[in-house]
Amino acid sequence: MNKLFYPAIFHKAEEGGFWITFPDIPECMTQGEDVQQAYEMAVDALGLAITSRKQERESIPVPSQPYDLKVGEGELCVVIEFDMRAYQKRTNSKAVKKTLSIPQWLNEEAMEMGVNFSQVLQEALIQKIGAR
């Protein structure tokens, strides 16, 4: 579930700009001064709603098909692309401590070379996850 695509309804606001709703996620709403800002705000709002649902162990709804949605005058259906991995990297980069075991000889050689164990582990995990 790295990339998700949800339709959003951009409603033209009387005072200018847009307010945005997501038919599949009723609690998810935002606004923007123009189309670009509205889209960016929609991505962030969608990220907050999805991560909140995950944390609360609530289901993540299946996105509606954009052509199934009816829009009124002054409304526009826009598909919002949400990249879970990119969102997590941007919003949740807090370091966590991990304990691991390696052979003593490997530890000694790595220490002699001045290897940064945390960096090596991060690089290996990113490569492993990216290889999926």
> What pLDDT does residue 131 have?
53
pLDDT of residue 91: 78
Percent of the chain past pLDDT 70, that is, above it, reads: 97
The answer to whether residues 57 and 78 belong to one domain is yes
Q: In CATH, what number is assigned to the domain containing residue 31?
A: 3.30.160.250
Same domain, 23 and 86: yes
Give me the phi and psi of 6, to 5 degrees please.
-115, 135
The pTM of the full predicted model, rounded to 2 decimals, is 0.69
% of the chain at pLDDT higher than 90: 68
* Together in a domain, 86 and 118: no
Task: Give the chain's domain count.
Answer: 2
Asked whether residue 67 falls in the same domain as residue 39, the answer is: yes
Q: Compute the half-sphere exposure of residue 38: CA atoms within 13 Å on the CB side of its CA.
A: 22
| Count of other CB atoms within 10 angstroms of residue 14 | 8
Residues 62 and 110 placed together within one structural domain of the fold: no
Q: Are residues 104 and 84 in the same domain?
A: no
Q: Are residues 23 and 61 in the same domain?
A: yes
* Residue range(s) defining the domain that contains residue 125: 95-132
Per the prediction, the chain carries an average pLDDT of 90
